[in-house]
Amino acid sequence: MMHSFIELAGIFETKFNIRHFPEHTPSLYDPAQYILQLGGKRVRPVSVLMGNELFDEINPDAYDVAAAIELFHNFTLIHDDIMDKAPVRRGLATVHTKFGDSTALLAGDVMLVKCYDYLNRIKSPSFHRIIQLFNTTAAQVCEGQQLDMDFEKRDSVSFDEYVNMITLKTSVLLAASLQLGAILSGTGEGNRQHLYEFGKHLGIAFQVQDDYLDAFGDPATFGKQVGGDILANKKTFLMIHALEVADSASRVKLQQLMTDNPADKVEQVLEIFKACKVDEWANELKEKYLQTALQHLEDIAVISKRKEPLKELALYLIQRNR
């Protein structure tokens, strides 16, 4: 019997909601444990379980891989929050705000080591392949974060460069989570690859939506401050496209707004966005990535009934807050 995302999230949470670290040296391990209790949708670890169950009953190894993935994701959050000097996450103080930068750095480090403790429990003969995919993905996430910082210092970023950066920074982890589950099922290379591409394109679609909602979202339901990316001069999908398609007067105006930071900057930028029809373009772009993702799901050689939970997940992720 197959499970929905919500059911698997519940099963995962029951297993994951433990102390993952020793009781000793609480000055190191309490901060590491702290971020895990801030919650989150657990999309990535549940994707491991779903990628596994797409082909077969859940392999017990999948829970260890899922735990490793969720620990890895939280490790990146701790270190990213240090780099971004972010004070708050999910409504509570970030690790470095609560415990100091040095402890947050170390807590992240030890959490990354802990990932490999979980991976080392795997009994599957695909052990080496799993470690390899995990490592490749982990390095790509670091590359994506570095490129994101590099882009902040640059005047212009192309659409392709942004897609590449965002793919590395956020999409490959979702794609790899699904594929790790597939590897544990023993399914063939073709299926594994299609599932990876499903996750990758779904992740990009999700990012397009995130960028869209930052500009055009409903303040009542969008979790973050609407216009935050505009205030921070972030080169989002929307801004990159607007700079590409706007007439030269609007382009100059956009660049001026980013330099001058007037009080009504968000309103003025949004007006130009709308004049360039950036909102429509973003919705079409999201739809394009979503359709590509769904096509890859379609192309997986397994009866379509087994694909339902993943299809539901895709629609749930992409249509939230609309």
Please state the closest distance from residue 120 (CB atom) to a second copy, in A: 5
Q: Among residues 7 and 143, whose Cβ is nearest to a second copy?
A: 143
Please state the closest distance from residue 125 (CB atom) to a second copy, in A: 12
Please state the closest distance from residue 293 (CB atom) to a second copy, in A: 26
- Write the DSSP symbol of residue 191: H
* Token pair recorded at residue 11: 């099963």
C-alpha distance across the termini of the chain, in Å: 31
Q: Among residues 115 and 269, whose Cβ is nearest to a second copy?
A: 115
Per the document, the length of the chain is 322
Give the distance from CA 174 to its chain's centroid. Answer: 7
Q: Could you give phi then psi for residue 29, rounded to 5 degrees? A: -85, -25
Q: Among residues 151 and 222, whose Cβ is nearest to a second copy?
A: 151
Please state the closest distance from residue 317 (CB atom) to a second copy, in A: 27
Q: Nearest CA to 319 among 220, 229, 208? A: 208
- Residues forming the site for a second copy (CB under 8 A): 24-25, 27-28, 79, 82-83, 101-103, 105-106, 108-110, 112-114, 116-117, 120, 128, 131-132, 135, 138-139, 142-143, 145-147, 149-150
With 0-12 CB in 10 A as exposed, 13-18 as middle and 19+ as buried, what is 25?
exposed
Q: Among residues 103 and 191, whose Cβ is nearest to a second copy?
A: 103
* Contact (Cβ atoms closer than 8 angstroms) between residue 65 and residue 180: yes
Please state the closest distance from residue 268 (CB atom) to a second copy, in A: 31
| Measured distance CA(209)–CA(273) in Å, rounded | 15
| Measured distance CA(209)–CA(212) in Å, rounded | 5
* Contact (Cβ atoms closer than 8 angstroms) between residue 164 and residue 203: no
With 0-12 CB in 10 A as exposed, 13-18 as middle and 19+ as buried, what is 85?
exposed
Q: Among residues 38 and 110, whose Cβ is nearest to a second copy?
A: 110
Q: Among residues 27 and 304, whose Cβ is nearest to a second copy?
A: 27
Please state the closest distance from residue 127 (CB atom) to a second copy, in A: 8
Q: Among residues 165 and 310, whose Cβ is nearest to a second copy?
A: 165
Cβ neighbour number for residue 231 with a 10 Å cutoff? 14
Dihedral sign (CA 315, 308, 296, 5): positive
Please state the closest distance from residue 103 (CB atom) to a second copy, in A: 7
Please state the closest distance from residue 25 (CB atom) to a second copy, in A: 5
- Write the DSSP symbol of residue 168: I
Q: Among residues 16 and 116, whose Cβ is nearest to a second copy?
A: 116
